[in-house]
Chain A
Amino acid sequence: MLTKRVIPCLDVKDGRVVKGINFLNLRDAGDPAEVSSAYDKAGADEVVFLDINASSDSRSTQLEWVRQVASTLFIPFTVGGGVRTVDDFRDILREGADKIAINSAAIMNPQLISDAADKFGSQCVVVAIDAKKRKDGDGWTIYKNGGRVDMEKDLVEWAMEAERRGAGEILLTSMDCDGTKAGYDLAQLRAVSSVVRIPVIASGGAGTKEHFYDAIEAGAEAVLAASLFHYKELEIRDLKEYLRGRGVAVRL
């Protein structure tokens, strides 16, 4: 039976992991290759890396750490941040990444989704979406530039467009819930996962094991969290035991 996936997310800046300083038993807490290998051993199903200041200037740094990660990490990993062109896709995939996440670049140039999917296959195109409740409370709009700019574009419509253009997965972050530890935005997850047929990865708001279960119940194929895992507030294996106890198929 296909399992639900538990995915730690690592923020990378200048080739170093910027969260995760409390990660125990590591010689170098900031090395992407080491931190991600530790997550593999801890039972993570995948790892997502978000390069938070990637640009064309730092591309070579990015390719270097991706190469190192690919030499030691033998579970799938996604790289996001600063990817704007099909050539960027090619360069990063060639170093051994499995999937590429695009956010602002997809909003500014939706054709990038189609072009990348045609060239490399839908399975490696992850459209990351940052969304926030509309002020009038009716649905959500999407934001670009790391949540700084409201595109005043409807979330559900954008998710459907991403799928139609060939996205393989949607990484959906609730800006309202992110950092609150009060739980994922379940209404938002339901709204998106009920209209697309591609997997939706829930992101933003996890604080307890129940929250992960709730997200899966709401239609998420995978659940992502960052600080909860980094600061060892929750062990991935404990989370998976809990999910299995509640009848969710997980890899243990």
Chain B
Amino acid sequence: MISIIDYDAGNIKSVEKALQFLGAEAVVTRNPETILSSDGVILPGVGAFGDAMGRLRSYGLEEVLQDVTKRGIPFLGICLGLQLLFEDSEESPGVKGLGILKGHIRRIPSDGGLKVPQIGWNSLSFPKKGTLFEGIPEGSFVYFVHSYYLQAEDPGIVVATTEYGVTIHAAVEQGNVFAMQYQPEKSSDNGLAMLRNFVNLTRKDA
């Protein structure tokens, strides 16, 4: 069973429907016991960094999520859920992120005439082969909606990048912690394949 963290974020329903479509058992929850006893945890999210961290804290989820990653339960952060895993964001100065991974969230520079947010399909490069990219060719397109992007401190955890004026760290992997800046649940067959790979991982460990 996979827990989708319920903290009033925007795309929870879409992630849930994608998992249902893939035949995975998923619950939307903020109950610590349910979360800690699940085979996988997904942190979705659309919205502002500061608000989201505030809500995670007010629901007492900060420590729960840190426990999840410490226990090695497969964890997937999506979109804002990726950003929250890191230390801080230029979107909400002074607000600390979960700090499970090392790195910072920056504003996409709009000089050079690029539109911000980046909205649309962009292609992925794979600096190394990520576990969730099994069967997915380099250059595949996924759907992005974001104004801020990750600069991971350790390039060794970056498993996908995309170009939008700057090189964006689009996906990371460290142990059982995975995260994607784009929205796999809106990325057609490629995105569903990545989610399926995550689902399979949770079954393997079960």
Contacts and interface: CB of A to CB of B under 8 A. Distances in A.
Mutual binders A and B:
yes
Interface of A: 1-3, 5, 40, 45, 70-72, 74-76, 93-96, 98, 120-124, 168-169, 197-199, 221-222, 251
Main secondary structure of the interface of B (DSSP, over half): mixed
Given A1-B123, A70-B17, A76-B186, A221 B117 contact: no
A251 B115 contact: no
Contact of A120 (B10, B120, B185, B192): B10
Contact of B122 (A3, A168, A199): A3
Given A3-B120, A3-B122, A251-B121, A74 B115 contact: no
A105 B120 CA distance: 26
Interface string B94-111: 000000000000000010
Given A2-B164, A5-B121, A251-B141, A70 B13 contact: yes
Given A5-B121, A45-B120, A221 B17 contact: no
A52 to B, nearest CB: 25
A197 B110 contact: yes
Interface string B186-205: 11110110000000000000
B126 interface: no
Centre residue among A74, A123, A169 by max chain B CB count within 10 A: A74
Given A1-B122, A5-B120, A94 B13 contact: yes
B13 A123 contact: no
A45 B187 CA distance: 9
A71 B115 contact: no
Contacts of B47: 121
Nearest to B114: A2
Contacts of A2: 118, 120-122, 144, 164
A251 B122 CA distance: 8
Main secondary structure of the interface of A (DSSP, over half): loop
A199 B46 contact: no
A98 B117 contact: no
A70 B189 CA distance: 15
B74 to A, nearest CB: 21
Contacts of A75: 143, 186-188
Nearest to A69: B17
A74 B119 contact: no
Interface string B70-110: 00000000000000000000000000000000000000001
Contacts of A221: 115, 119-120
B27 interface: no
Given A3-B120, A74-B18, A199 B13 contact: no
23 contacts: A1-B122, A1-B123, A2-B164, A3-B120, A3-B141, A40-B188, A45-B120, A45-B121, A70-B13, A74-B21, A74-B186, A74-B187, A76-B143, A98-B14, A120-B10, A121-B10, A121-B47, A123-B117, A168-B117, A168-B119, A197-B110, A197-B115, A197-B116
A168 B120 CA distance: 12
Nearest to B15: A96
B163 interface: yes
Given A2-B122, A71-B20, A199-B115, 10 more contacts: A71-B17, A74-B192, A75-B143, A95-B13, A96-B14, A98-B14, A121-B48, A123-B46, A123-B119, A169-B119
